[in-house]
Amino acid sequence: MNPDASVIARANELREQIEHHNRLYHILDRPEISDSEYDLLFRELQAIEEEFPELRTPDSPTLRIGGPPIDSLVSVRHSVPMLSLDNAFDDDELRAFDTRLKKYVGDEEIAYFVEYKFDGASISLRYENGVLVQAATRGDGTTGEDVLHNARTVRGVPLRLVPPFPDTLEVRGEVLMLRADFEKVNEERLARGEALFANPRNAASGGLRQLDSRLTAERRLSFFAYTLGEVSPSAAFPETQADLMEWLRERGFPVRVVGEVGVGIESVILVVEEIRKGRSSLPFDIDGAVIKVNSFAQRDEIGFTSRGPRWAIARKFPAEQAFTELIGVAWSVGRTGVVVPTAELKPVGVGGVTVSRATLHNPKEMARKDVRIGDIVIVQRAGDVIPEVVGPVLDKRPTNASPVPVPTTCPVCETPLEYDEGGILLRCLNRKSCPAQVETRLIHFVSRNAMDIDGLGEKQIQLFLSKGWLRELGDIYRLHLHREELLELEGFGEASVEKLLSAIEATRERTLDRFLFALGIRFVGERTAADLARHFGSISALRSATESELTQVQDIGPRTAEGIVTWFADEDHIRELDDLLSEVTPEEAETVRGDLFAGQTIVFTGKLEQFTREAAEALVLAEGGRAAGSVSKTTSFVVAGPGAGSKLVKAEQLGVRVLTETEFLELLPEGILAL
Ligand code: IVH
């Protein structure tokens, strides 16, 4: 039976609606319908296609969940070769690149466009009359493999273009696995007893080459576009990389843009450094930045070498992963009594530093990864984060690799260890006298971002502990009672003892936020401590707060609230705190006085002329907002003064509202500045 016209029309309508919602969800990040409404549309289309297979078009969104396996991958020749990029490994190599290019453009200035160097697998998507008809892997650059069946399952790959478009269009970009998906997919694989992926890149490139596209679909891969292959002549066509990105976005492609940097390699270098610093908080892995000449006319003047474009370069970042041998596991006791496993490794260079120890987080995580002594393991370091062991390379496991024994008693005080409620953290409950806990608590208390006691560091604390002068936090402020004994210690002259004691004295009235952070309450980092100080104003107000009062503070979730209430409910903590408070008087904080900016994040950039940046930021804080140092999607607005640079560019790229200083002042009710 042939479908009647109304069924055909309904199928068309469903396809359009589903792809529209796919775009809203995966590309624009603003869904308009719920998952279950989406599922209803999807199932309706599936049912129609099941009944009338001739209605299953090559751009049907039902293809996104994968179909029956194919027999083999077919080779395809790229109509325009997929070239590679030259690499720069340091800033001077970038400067040399810029100098090289200047020869080709005469007196003209060169504006550069900076992009992420996505760490995935490149792909070339071919559209004929707006429909995706071929998807090729890079292969050797000349010939790749057709992976259309898999590409259709990749989120963000349009199955049909948004018009107007050229008859033939090849769009190239990277297929990758978002870090969050990597975690999820590995969890699922673990639950099914399958081998875990070592990193998102392997998962993505392996995913693309599956014969069974349903397996690719399970990997939840994503796509970002960055360049073109073959294009049939078309009337309106972008003239710069910045315009191309916008043009691709309008055609329905996901793009992630860092921004047009403008003229001057030095500003490029600054932007690249920002990218490197922010690298670990991106939702995906990158292995560098790509710097491209923005103007296509200039690119024509500059041309290609045999390997790739002369007008672009990849600034590579040091690899953040390496392979090495796991020699042993050491267990140490932290401030809160948590006993953590640390991997002892054969030293290896990772991300520019030598790593010989890396965290294994906790016994559960260690068991999940199934690392064994003697294994070759993958070590990872991201930015300033402590290096961690990602997992073993199972193919290389020696036959005598031995499982890591988990201790049953505290490695320092020998108290029997207990697991917490979740069965994840192993803890020594001897809070009061486990020497390891007392020591780390003291060291944290005096550290730079906490009470910041000059001259009292790890070494001195260990020494004073061994003398029995320090047993709890308040003892720090009673060290002066040991003045005579201090003078007898080697290396402590009259002057240095005076200096140490007066440094301690100077901290008796530290600000409340520092004091709260110094206490080492679980989940209370510097930022949370500042939020708490601002909200409650005094330690006495905070200690009587309930969980529901705490969760009303911006950014404090139930987990932190519970951590705080539990901390103040503990008799030992209270006794130590009261003792400490008999010595010190934290300076009370000015609490929030209004809610003009409640829940908003504001960035100031450039020069402010009518008041200082500190005053502006203090005002935002006092009105319940947050002043941030960098622009992101969650920034509410940017206040830009003269001389604003990359932050302003970023705000414009992200579509974040930008105000002048005068416009900002107009937001404020009269008289507020005088408060
Ligand atoms: S442009 C003509 N842009 O890097 C060169 N490539 O070494 C076309 N890559 O095979 C590539 N992010 O897989 C370009 N923003 C980006 C990129 C990028 C990652 C990869 C791509 C390519 C390799 C070149």
Q: What is the CATH number of the domain that holds 611?
A: 3.40.50.10190
In this structure, the answer to whether residues 106 and 224 fall within a common structural domain is yes
Q: Please, what is the Cα angle at 234 between 233 and 239, to 5 degrees?
A: 100
**Pocket lined around ligand 1, Cβ cut-off 6 Å:** 83-85, 115-118, 122, 138, 174, 226-227, 290, 308-309, 312, 314
Which of 501, 412, 512, 520 shows the shortest CA–CA distance to 460? 501
Q: For residue 421, is it within any domain?
A: no
CA distance 384 to 33: 39
355 and 481 together in one domain = no
Average pLDDT over residues 37-50: 93
Domain check: are 248 and 300 in the same one? yes
Which CATH number do you get for residue 467?
Answer: 1.10.150.20
Q: Which is the closest atom of ligand 1 to the Cα of 121? A: 13
pLDDT of residue 28: 77
Element (H, E) at 655: none
The residue type at 546? T
Q: What is the pLDDT of residue 279?
A: 86
Q: Quick check: 645 and 615 in contact, CB under 8 A?
A: no
Residue 671, pLDDT score:
63
Residues 307, 167 share a domain: yes
* CA pair distance 154, 253, nearest whole angstrom: 12
Mutate which of 117, 176, 222, 286 for ligand 1? The one with the most ligand atoms within 8 Å of its CB, which is 117
Judge if 108 and 145 occupy the same domain.
yes
Which one-letter amino acid corresponds to residue 62?
T
Confidence of residue 675 (pLDDT cuts 50, 70, 90): very low
> What's the pLDDT tens digit per position in 200-241?
898 999 999 999 999 999 999 999 999 999 999 877 789 999
Same domain, 296 and 164: yes
**C-alpha torsion 20→25→26→29, nearest 10:** 120
| Span of 337-341, 398-402, 429-433 with lowest mean pLDDT | 429-433
Residue 70 sits at the vertex; the CA angle it makes with 65 and 75, to the nearest 5 degrees, is 110
Tokens standing for 503? 């440094």
State the closest ligand 1 atom to the C-alpha of 314, by its place in the atom list counted from 1: 7
* Residue range 253-297, pLDDT digits in tens: 999 988 778 888 999 999 999 998 888 889 999 999 999 999 999
Sheet containing 637-640: which strands, arranged edge to edge?
Answer: 626-628, 601-605, 637-640, 657-659
111 occurs within a structural domain: yes
Q: What would the two tokens of residue 46 be?
A: 């599936």
pLDDT tens column, 359-418: 998 898 898 889 999 999 999 886 556 898 989 998 899 999 999 999 999 999 999 999
- Looking at the fold, whether 182 and 136 belong to one and the same domain comes out as yes
pTM of the predicted protein model: 0.59
Choose from 38-47, 419-428, 529-538, 648-657 the range with maximum mean pLDDT. 38-47
- Cα(287) to ligand 1 centroid in Å equals 11
| Nearest atom in ligand 1 to 227's CA | 1
- Within-domain flag for 71: no
* C-alpha distances out from residue 267 to 112, 113, 274, 276, Å: 9, 11, 11, 14
**pLDDT tens figures, 78-116:** 999 999 999 999 999 999 999 999 999 988 999 999 999
CA of 179 to the centre of ligand 1 (A): 20
Between the CA of 169 and the centroid of ligand 1 the distance, in Å, is 18
Report the range of poorest mean pLDDT among 324-328, 518-522, 640-644. 640-644
Q: How many domains does the chain have?
A: 6
Average pLDDT, the chain: 90
Q: What angle do CA 322, 270, 261 make, to 5 degrees?
A: 115
- Is the same domain home to 240 and 155? yes
CB count, 10 Å around CB of 381?
22
Q: How far is CA 233 from CA 112, 128, 147, 230, 371, in A?
A: 25, 13, 26, 10, 56
Residue 467 appears among annotated catalytic residues: no
Q: pLDDT value at position 385?
A: 67
* 168 and 29 in a common domain: no
- Provide CB contacts within 8 A for 641, sequence distance 6+: 604, 605, 606, 607, 608, 609, 660, 661
Name the domain boundary from 457, 488, 505. Answer: 505
Q: Specify the residue with its C-alpha closest to ligand 1, atom 9.
A: 117
Q: What is the C-alpha separation between 522 and 518, in angstroms, rounded?
A: 11
Residue 584: CB atoms within 10 Å? 18
Last residue of a domain, one of 288, 316, 344: 316
| Closest residue by CA, ligand 1 atom 14 | 226
Q: Are residues 96 and 196 in the same domain?
A: yes
Q: Which of 102, 117, 346, 459 is catalytic?
A: 117
Does 572 share its domain with 454? no
Task: Please tell me the residue having the least CA distance from ligand 1 atom 23.
Answer: 84
- Average pLDDT of the residues in 187-198: 76
* Rounded-to-integer distance, Cα 627 and Cα 615, Å: 11
Banded model confidence at residue 621, pLDDT cuts 50, 70, 90: confident
Which residues are CB-contacts of 65 (< 8 A; sequence separation ≥ 6)?
Answer: 153, 214, 217
622 lies in which domain range? 601-674
Average pLDDT over residues 337-355: 91
DSSP code for 657: E
Paired tokens of 78: 């790229």
Which residue's CA is the closest to the ligand 1 atom numbered 21? 122
Half-sphere exposure of 646 (CA within 13 A, CB side): 20
Task: Scan for tokens 């003229």, then name that residue.
Answer: 263
3-state secondary structure of 568: helix
Q: Which atom of ligand 1 is nearest to the CA of 308?
A: 2
46 vs 63: CA distance, rounded Å: 10
Give tens-digit pLDDT for 462-515: 999 999 999 999 999 999 999 999 999 988 999 999 999 999 999 999 999 999
CB within 8 A of 70, min separation 6: which ones? 149, 211, 213
Ligand 1 pocket check: which of 78, 82, 84 to mutate, most ligand atoms within 8 Å of Cβ?
84
Q: Report the pLDDT value the prediction gives residue 329, as an integer from 0 to 100.
A: 96
pLDDT of residue 673: 59
Report the separation in Å between the CA atom of 448 and the middle of ligand 1, taken as the mean of its atom positions. 42
